Chains A and B, each alone.
Chain A
């Protein structure tokens, strides 16, 4: 016998189910008057620094159908590469940028949409700079444990080429699944749950 490490086990996940919007975006679910505004609706305001961009896309299932009941959260650094978080020790992030967004997919088209700024570069654990990226978390009916992925920017070819996370990926042909393509100020990022172009999901 040995001593116990006295560790607890993480609470097991369960699916967010079809009514996740009731809890996380009740105004979107037409339950009004409880909260003023759904959390995570706006990431920026008039004074936010950095390049304004829109991120849009869909989450697509194994039958090529967009999920119309999923919910996406994103987390990203500000335009200078700083996170608006107490765990950010390198400096103070833009106080007019939350870094966090929450968006239910459209119940008609399955599209999600975030109005945000293009993030700056953040160092990897060895100090090398990662390419600009946005962390995604996807929950829905049928997803038993929230899925994590990253979105990189198609117009950052040089930064992407030297990104330490992308560099470690064994199957280089899957890297395009993480890269959003630019069209004006909009980046399109479709997330595929299955199939030949299944998005890379991370165990973070």
Chain B
């Protein structure tokens, strides 16, 4: 089904977005995560009421997707081969703060391989590359905001921050909703990982509930028996203000 077919059944949204809760998100300056020290703006952000420039955004049609884009086990693998590691399905919904599914959202994801190694020339970790694993995938949400992809569970990896800092296993997510102001990048963690509370990047977030919302739940009812375990990860984008009553000014 094409994106436009989804959108024609739904009135285009033109409201401004709810204000971002900047106490809930990580602050810019988080010295425990050392790289943030020189990369965090020091002056106050300037509040800007959403204009058309913020409430609009591009549309990504399903026609951009290849058949294997949401299958990281196979999208980089040689024919007949597959990536090494514990096979998992990651699924969930992209919702807005009003609890409504966001259809047509572009969801992109990237991750290390099962040994915790990224396919990147700047990578400094010695774990082996998997010749059949690239580490990127993408999909577009369905009419209810649902998405699903298949991959291998990434490994944790060490990184140069403290002398012995390890990232918990994680998958990076980029989500493109309907308005440019909804643009979001985050990371998904795995239920039960003991490295989560130790991680300086996780700890850039102060609110424990905000951290919990990044931890995907193991869902043994959505597994594929003798094939894949499943993890559920819902993502919430900013909601839009509803126009309950028109408040038109003279001359508009």
Residues of A at the B interface (CB closer than 8 Å) are 6-24, 26, 29-31, 33-36, 39, 61-63, 65, 67, 69, 73, 75-77, 83-89, 98-100, 122-127, 130, 133, 135, 137, 139-148, 150, 165, 169, 193-194, 198-204
Contact = CB atoms under 8 A, between A and B. Distances in A.
Contact of A125 (B47, B49, B75, B95): B49
A57 to B, nearest CB: 16
How many chain B residues sit at the interface, stated as a range, is 35 or more
Interface stretch (B6-14, B81-89, B218-226): B6-14
Interface in B1-58: 7, 12-14, 17-22, 24-28, 30, 33, 35-43, 45-58
A124 B25 CA distance: 28
B184 interface: yes
A75 B181 CA distance: 10
B186 A13 contact: yes
B205 interface: yes
The 5 closest A-B pairs by CB, nearest first: A23-B110, A142-B35, A142-B39, A85-B56, A144-B26
Contacts of B68: 34
Given A10-B97, A198-B43, A145 B28 contact: yes
B229 interface: no
B194 interface: no
B59 A143 contact: no
A117 B9 CA distance: 32
Interface in B88-123: 95-99, 106, 108-110, 118-123
A127 B119 contact: no
A99 B53 contact: no
A178 B234 CA distance: 36
Given A12-B205, A86-B12, A122-B51, A18 B122 contact: yes
Given A14-B186, A31-B119, A24 B108 contact: yes
Interface centre among B56, B64, B99 (most CB of A within 10 A): B56
B21 A9 contact: yes
Contacts of A124: 51
Given A83-B56, A141-B35, A34 B76 contact: yes
Contacts of B181: 148, 204
B41 A87 contact: no
Nearest to B134: A31
Contact of B41 (A33, A39, A194): A194
B24 A24 contact: no
A13 B28 CA distance: 11
B35 to A, nearest CB: 3
